[in-house]
Structure 1
Amino acid sequence: MAKVPREHRVPIMLTDDELQAIDDWRFENRVPTRSEAIRRLIEIALQSEGN
């Protein structure tokens, strides 16, 4: 799979509980970084909405 360059940053603020949920999902799914976990979760959410 070819890597697409990432050109945009989107700073977000999270609660401790939200960050913990992301980290838990990340470790359960063996995702190497928090950023990659957030990108994958966004992709899953968008696909579930049919976008």
Structure 2
Amino acid sequence: MSLNPLIDSRDVRFVLFEMLGVDKLNRFDYFSSFDREVFEDTLNLAEKMAVE
């Protein structure tokens, strides 16, 4: 079970990374500076803000 009462963080990450492959967007010039760490940090911050 997720620590977040609003959403299951594991489900969100599964859909984004395993199903949609958003971490592969860095193949495109516009997203070249993005890596999985950037996506994870963004998700963590958004989740923290939503819970607070």
TM-score by length of 1: 0.43
TM-score by length of 2: 0.42
